[in-house]
Structure 1
Amino acid sequence: LQPGDSKLWEAKETLSIYSGNAGGLTLAANGDAPAVMGEPGQPEEKLFSPQ
């Protein structure tokens, strides 16, 4: 993704999102408020399950 881009994913089971720069991504899932994925420059993986 480029700065300012957004993407919507849907999953029937678990969705895994990995970033090498977690501070560069803002995520919102299952109706939660958007939040920064992690620390700038740090790798991070998040797993989301449907509610």
Structure 2
Amino acid sequence: MAIEKELLDQLLAGRDPNEVFAKHGLLDDLKKALSGTGTRRQGSCRRISGGA
């Protein structure tokens, strides 16, 4: 799945380019957010399917 250029532009707007890849920068924030999303989705699937 491709990430839309407009979304990337929004995420990067007004940021120091060095901050994006810095420790605790944008990339780390995105990883945390995506990790939490995946965890919530897995929990929902387990409840629907009756898994533990």
Task: Give the TM bin, normalised by the shorter chain.
Answer: under 0.3
Looking at secondary structure, tell me which structure has more strand per residue.
Answer: 1
> TM-score, normalized by length of structure 2?
0.17
Looking at secondary structure, tell me which structure has more helix per residue.
Answer: 2
> TM-score, normalized by length of structure 1?
0.17
If asked which structure has higher relative contact order (CA below 8 Å, sep 6+), I would say: 1
Q: State which structure, 1 or 2, has the greater radius of gyration over its C-alpha atoms.
A: 2
